[in-house]
Amino acid sequence: MELFPSTEQQKKSQVKKSGLVVVKNMKIVGLHCSSTDLHAGQIALIKHGSRLKNCDLYFSRKPCSTCLKMIVNAGVNRISYWPADPEISLQNEASNPMTTDDAKLDAKAVERLKSNSRARVCVLLQPLGCSMVQFVEETSTKFDFIQKIVKSQPDSNADFYTACRQERIKEYESLFLISNEEMHKKILMTIGLENLCENPYFSNLRQNMKDLVLVLATVAASVPVFGCFGFYNSESQRTNETDHQSLPQEIARHCMIQARLLAYRTEDHKTGVGAIIWAEEKSRSCDGTGAMYFVGCGYNAFPVGSEYADFPHMDDKQKDREIRKFRYIIHAEQNALTFRCQEIKPDERSMIFVTKCPCDECVPLIKGAGIKQIYAGDVDAGKKKADISYMKFGEVEGVSKFTWQLNPLHTNALEFHDPTARENGVQKTKSLDDQQHQSKKLCLGHY
């Protein structure tokens, strides 16, 4: 959530943004991002109030005393945070004695609040599975968006994805990982984490942080900035009518990356699918997400409470239809609607982001729930695979459909690439600044 696209006003802020996930009874009930005026913890209190009781809060920065005293008072169960500089950034102001003194006083206040409250405040950074990074990388290179680029330019596949991934790694490391180890230790000591400054704890902490950054960057690279979410082909004739309602590309991409992360929690051994529902209030809110607010999320899994062997795990290559899993798996869209934390309001713009094209089971549900927009990949649109049909997606009316498009409105393949620049049989890409400038120009339905 810390990476939620900023407004120009927020980009000028010297204090680092912070993100927050609010969980209650193992269900996500809030996704928040700090604004220019409020920290993430303050926003959580405004949004949830007494409903924070018994919730678990996950911060991307250590909360300050202002946030902590309010959320502790609300009766939260657990507060976990990323072990780098806190909400009031120390890294950029370390040379300022006044700021450092204030930070030390704040750290003491945080520790006193922590020791005198029932809420558990801790660093929660567990090591990833030994093959997690490799698994995420393999599945990311096979994801629908990357596959479109592969089909259009197979020779540039490996270099293209690797370049995207390296850019994301650099970006995320600069945001979430303090490069200088000594500086990191000083900040940990300032915010009351002296016990993490000694080896092997410090080395393990750094490695776990690097592994998680690598996973996040790998997932983000699977939704490249070299395309955009445009109107589904069947609605191209209505582009001018609905274009003003489209979501900015940066936000659409951010939400699709969230859906991609959810897909890794799947119980389907073959295909993970993630879905996340957002809505837009009529008036701008206090949250750093602007008018956008979280409604619900889900991933494909077997019914709640079922054991591993209760239902078939076979894929569609099995000849016997009775042992196929399709009729037993709850789809990501279905789980997102079932376990949503807020109602979908008919007078507000609501949108669902799905990592794959919704099937015939889910399209009527999405429309019936009152969701106004669907953002998805379109690789399976209009196809039928074994028992699964995707025929209704193109036919649904009253819902705006957006799919990730490499070539908006049938423009030439890979518009972001210089067709005259080739080296070793692989096309060179323009500079990152040029790519970002081009992607900002890609308003939905227009190029």
Q: Which of 344, 361, 358, 213 is nearest to 273 (CA)?
A: 358
CA nearest to 350, candidates 398, 420, 310: 398
Among 18, 14, 81, residue whose Cα is nearest residue 288:
18
Axis-axis angle for helices 97-115, 181-190 (nearest 10): 50
Please report which helix (H) or strand (E) contains residue 114, including its range. helix 97-115
- The secondary element (H helix, E strand) that includes residue 254 is helix 249-263
First to last CA, the chain: 29
How far is the C-alpha of 238 from the C-alpha of 400, rounded, in Å? Answer: 10
Nearest to 90 by CA among 209, 193, 6, 160: 193
Q: Do 390 and 360 form a contact (C-beta atoms < 8 A)?
A: yes
Query: Contact 5/33 with Cβ under 8 angstroms?
Result: no
Q: Which two tokens stand for residue 72?
A: 């502790």
Residue keyed to tokens 């909360």: 63
Q: Please name every residue paired with 417 in a beta bridge, in sequence order, or none if there are none.
A: 429
Does residue 379 sit in helix, strand or coil? coil
Interior/surface letters 345-368, b for 16+ CB within 10 angstroms, e for the rest: eeeebbbbbbbbbbbebbbebbbe
Dihedral sign from CA coordinates of 208, 173, 132, 310: positive
The catalytic position among 333, 348, 395, 415 is: 333
**Residue 43 near residue 286 (C-beta atoms within 8 A):** yes
Instruction: Specify burial of residue 130 (Cβ count, 10 A radius: 0-12, 13-18, 19+).
Output: exposed
CB 292 within 8 A of CB 278: yes
Rounded Cα–Cα distance for residues 101 and 111 (Å):
15
Strand 274-280 and strand 292-299: pairing?
A: antiparallel
What is the C-alpha to C-alpha distance for residues 245 and 310, in angstroms, rounded to an integer? 44
**Closest-CA residue to 374 (of 325, 416, 332, 436):** 332
- Is 333 among the residues known to form the active site? yes
Active site residues: 333
